[in-house]
Chain A
Amino acid sequence: MDAVELTVNGRDVHLQLDPRTTLLDALREHLHLTGTKKGCDHGQCGACTVIVEGRRINSCLTLAVMHEGENVTTIEGLGSPDNLHPMQRAFVTHDGYQCGYCTPGQICSAVAMLEEIAADIPSHATQDLGEVEFSDAELRERMSGNICRCAAYPNIIAAIRDVAGEGEA
């Protein structure tokens, strides 16, 4: 067992973990933060997306012990049913989900993704590498690591546009 200290949703947590424990399982099984979902456990689907030190990552593809002292934000840290984050509110308004299983990952991914655009971090879809232009093509490219088998894709893009203040396409 290894001692691990993390800051999760602003709260310091101290865990004794098997070093094989992924960050995802530390959240779900040890901290009982089950909002973060396990879809594939192999970094293929994006359902486990959380925000670590401001960047979105697949929490199934990293071990908890690798994040000693780091800040982790999960879906529970963004908002609660009585106090929804604007992205959570927009997903409800635009029906950006169906079964709900990929949804926390989509939302965490979307929140961090908008920061990446704001920071002019280019993607495969970027035309001018010096200045990222906000577009549906950018959003779709950047969100493609988050699979939604119910396929609420256009609704998710509408929700993200809404939060970004970009309106209709």
Chain B
Amino acid sequence: MKFDRPATANPIDRGRVVGIAHDRIEGAAKVTGTAPYAYERHDAAPNAAYGWIVGSAIAKGRIAAMDLTAAEVAPGVLGVVTHQNAGPLGKGNMNTAHLLGGPAVEHYDQAVALVIADTLENARDAARLLRIDYRAEQGRFDLAADRDRAAKPEDGFGGPADTSAGDFDAAFGRAAVQIDQSYTTPDQSHAMMEPHATTAAWNGDRLTLWTSNQMVAWAVGDMARTLKIPKDRIRVVSPYVGGGFGGKLFLRADALLAALGARAVGRPVKVAIARSQIPNNTTHRPATIQRIRIGADKDGVIDAIAHEVWSGDLPGGEPETAAMQTRLLYRGDHRRTAHRLATLDLPEGNAMRAPGEAVGMLALEVAMDELAETCGVDPVELRIRNDVQYDPEVGPKRPFSSRKFVECLRQGAARFGWEQRDSRPGQKRDGRWLVGMGMAAAFRNNLVASSGARVGVDAQGRVTVETDMTDIGTGSYTIIGQTAAEMMGVPLEAVTVRLGDSRFPVSSGSGGQFGGNSSTAGVYAACVALRTKLAERAGFPAEQVIFEDGLLRLGNQSRPLAAVAGPDGLWAEDRIEFGDLTERYAQATFGAHFCEVGVDIDTAEVRIRRMGGAFAAGRILNPKSARSQVIGAMTMGAGAALMEELQVDTRFGFFVNHDMAEYVVPVHADIPEQDVLFVEELDDKSSPMKAKGVGELGICGAGAAIANAIYNATGIRLRDYPLTIDKLIERAEGSALA
């Protein structure tokens, strides 16, 4: 099915199952621990041996010699895989550094060996017995020091490196009000709860991987490229993913080394990347330096806006596209964005939840707060004044598909009690707490991706959906089930959803908040195909037949779905292909974040008192799981604002705090009340579902609302994330904290 014209009325609009809050259909499996994750496949690979990854002890250089002798004769050891015996390996399209290093080392903790043994204890112990002689080379590890060496990158996934419209320099120069500030965000780690893990088994020349991966088809393709074998010899199974956040978009070392290990020892091998290896071995969100300039009139109406971003990555890597939202969020005839990329030898930078916007909004929305204060305009009102209903780089000929930004601002403000805020900082006390309120816009692009599925009805009228789509906590199982139930006219309980297997049709996968909308649109397409087949079989004209209550209905006539499907059942497969609607229309999701914080008058400890927001993301397919996606993202935004930072050792080139004790993320005690309002919206240009992405919107702007609340509480404007106690104390003099 080609989606190249706006959707018209369709069965999803009935809203009997779609749009209703449902418990997750895989819920019982998750709460009883019976949902199988990648390292737990005793059922599929009962005799799996254990692999333990050895990571490089240097960040850049070469391995001069490896002495495996002690490890190879250690108790229980079955084999050791290194670059010397792994055979010729390619590299996946999605990988920047090689997943198995040696003799060249590209980053710290890059895998350089896998030790395989009969037990985990023996493998882990033997891994310490490898003797590796390195020749370290001087690397570059400091983004701030290398900022001036940063170059213009190639246009990548996020769009062009540079954009401009009008004459920014002239317009900014003549503006009555000028904001010109720089902001920094640190390297961050996904820190998903389930480590990257794979169980691998060979059957002759065929490989099966039970793994934890967001993008099944990418994993198949990159494994084929890396092992230099045909794709059709590889099966990837990933039905449950214990969190990804972008960290499991790609084939990683666990999968490659499990496959190599299993081939080397002639039996299944399972590998989990140890928690302490994850931040340096896998990918992370790169640090940014951002400069934002805004030229406005005295009422805060923007005429000129520029956003420049510097980030770093390994050779061949990509920039953190933190200026992307600034192309679309606010008005202004004169605009510029630019990304510059420094070559660094830190571990591989790559996508983490809302790449680009998550950190871009941390800067832009504080700049907007600074503009509001400078102009003496309420921050909500300032954003309303700068709303624009079309792509401001292009003009009215490229309108937004739908943009309920102002509605989010107004409804969110009313619900939060924004009118109670005193715009003068440092005015409100509650015992030992300075109390402040802040807000920020939420913005995340609406991406779409082609997605396939097959759907069947059996002789009992039960509907089954199969697609290689993944559920990484996002609620895919349930919304896919809801879509099929709505389309086929059966209750949700009559639908079985099978996900995460490369034997199923290729889906969008889970990433960039495109998965929910795209994969359900693919299921919609397959259901349309199945409806046509069933109608033909029933002798009804396909365009007139109604599917409801387990029946095909045409006027007064009806036939049970089960009877039409017949004893052998009936299947259909299709995929959704997206046309140029994303080019003709700017498509994005919007919202408004609000936050109240307390800052301890003596210690400068920041506590979030409440968070709230209003969001517009098209049709909300399952309000229950969508709300959970948003509050989870708001919490990750709170982590970005207040605590999350991979500390770089700029001498040796690695992240020092590489585990969950030292890389601090929000816990229960950090997160109080969170309120989410979905503003009603249907986007007929996004997909037949009229939905948009919602999984990443909640992180975009959440941290800036906290930063602005801290300013309102204390009068201290911090621009270097995370906003920790030491930074507040350093600036306490002359503030309400003094």
Interface residues of A (CB under 8 A from B): 18, 20-21, 25, 28-29, 32-42, 44-45, 47, 74-76, 78-81, 84, 88-89, 91-93, 95, 97-104, 107, 125, 136, 139-141, 143-157, 169
> Once the chains bind, are B667 and A84 in contact (CB under 8 Å)?
no
Residues of chain B within 8 A of A44, CB atoms compared: 275, 659-661
Bound-state Cα–Cα, A74 to B31, Å: 12
Residue interface bits B278-293, CB-to-A below 8 A is 1, else 0: 0000000000000000
Asked if A36 and B631 sit within 8 Å, CB to CB, the answer is no
A121 to B3, CA, bound (A): 60
Distance in Å: Cβ of B23 to nearest Cβ of chain A: 5
User: How distant is the Cα of A151 from the Cα of B475 in the complex, in angstroms?
Assistant: 14
With A74-B33, A88-B32, A100-B35 already in contact, 19 other A-B pairs whose C-beta atoms are closer than 8 Å:
A34-B37, A34-B40, A38-B272, A40-B660, A44-B275, A75-B31, A92-B23, A97-B27, A98-B474, A98-B629, A99-B242, A101-B37, A103-B33, A104-B32, A104-B33, A140-B668, A147-B665, A149-B191, A150-B473
Residue B672 at the chain A interface, CB threshold 8 Å: yes
Q: Distance (Å) between the CB of A147 and the closest chain B CB?
A: 6
Shortest Cβ distance from residue B626 to the other chain A in the assembled complex, whole angstroms? 10
- 19 contacting pairs across A/B (C-beta < 8 A): A18-B121, A25-B121, A35-B32, A35-B33, A42-B660, A91-B31, A92-B23, A95-B628, A98-B628, A99-B473, A100-B29, A104-B31, A140-B672, A146-B667, A149-B245, A149-B636, A152-B628, A154-B671, A155-B628
Number of interface residues of B (CB under 8 A): 65
Instruction: Please tell me if the beta carbons of B35 and A42 are within 8 angstroms of each other in the complex.
Output: no
The A-contacting residues of B in range 121-139, CB under 8 angstroms, are 121-122, 125
The answer to whether A99 touches B33 (Cβ under 8 A) is no
Interface bits B2-24 vs A (CB < 8 Å: 1, else 0) = 00000000000000000000011
Is B243 a contact partner of A150 (Cβ separation < 8 A)?
yes
Set B195, B276, B629: member contacting A38, Cβ < 8 A: B195
**A93 to B22, alpha carbons, bound, how many Å?**
9
B33 lies within 8 A of A75 (CB): yes
B274 at the interface (CB under 8 A from A): yes
Which A residue's beta carbon lies closest to that of B638?
Answer: A151
Which residue in A29, A75, A99, A157 is a CB contact (below 8 Å) of B193? A99
A153 to B192 alpha-carbon distance, docked (Å): 15
Tell me which residues across on chain B come within 8 A of A146, comparing CB atoms. Answer: 667-668
Docked complex Cα distance between A80 and B31 (Å): 9
A149 adjacent to B243 (CB under 8 Å):
yes
Query: Cα distance A33–B27 when bound, in Å?
Result: 18
Residues of B within 8 Å of A34, CB to CB, are 33, 36-37, 40, 42
A33 and B671 alpha carbons, distance in the complex (Å): 32
- Tell me the smallest distance from the CB of B433 to a CB of chain A, in Å: 14
CB distance from A112 to the nearest CB of B (A): 15
The residues of B that contact A88 with a CB separation of less than 8 Å are 28, 31-32
Decide if A153 touches B24 in the complex (CB within 8 Å): no
Cβ of B624 within 8 Å of any chain A Cβ, yes or no, is yes
A81 with B672: CB separation less than 8 A: no
Contacts of A84 in B (CB 8 A): 28, 31-32
| Residue B566 is within 8 A (CB to CB) of chain A in the complex | no
Residue B145 at the A interface, CB < 8 A? Answer: no
Chain B residues, CB < 8 A from A151:
631-636, 666, 671
Residues of B within 8 A of A107 (CB): 31
Residues of B within 8 A of A148 (CB): 193, 668
Contact mask for chain B residues 628-671; partner A; CB cutoff 8 A; 1 contact, 0 none: 11011111100000000000000000000001110001111101
Indicate which residue in A37, A80, A143 contacts B32 across the interface (CB closer than 8 Å): A80
- Is residue B423 within 8 Å, beta carbon to beta carbon, of the partner chain? no
Residues in chain A near residue B473, CB distance under 8 A? 97-100, 150
Indicate if B570 sits at the interface (CB-CB under 8 A): no
Interface contact B193-A37, CB-CB below 8 Å: yes
Q: How far is the CA of A98 from the CA of B630 in the complex (A)?
A: 11
Q: Does B513 contact A (CB under 8 A)?
A: no
What 10 pairs across the A-B complex have the smallest Cβ distances?
A35-B33, A101-B242, A99-B473, A98-B473, A100-B30, A151-B635, A34-B40, A92-B27, A44-B660, A75-B33
Query: Could you say which residues of chain B place their CB within 8 Å of the CB of A81?
Result: 28-29, 32, 34
- Report if B673 contacts A (CB, 8 A): yes
Which residue from chain A places its CB closest to the CB of B33 in the assembled complex? A35
Q: How far is the CA of A28 from the CA of B121 in the complex (A)?
A: 13
| Contact of A144 (CB < 8 Å), options: B31, B243, B667 | B667
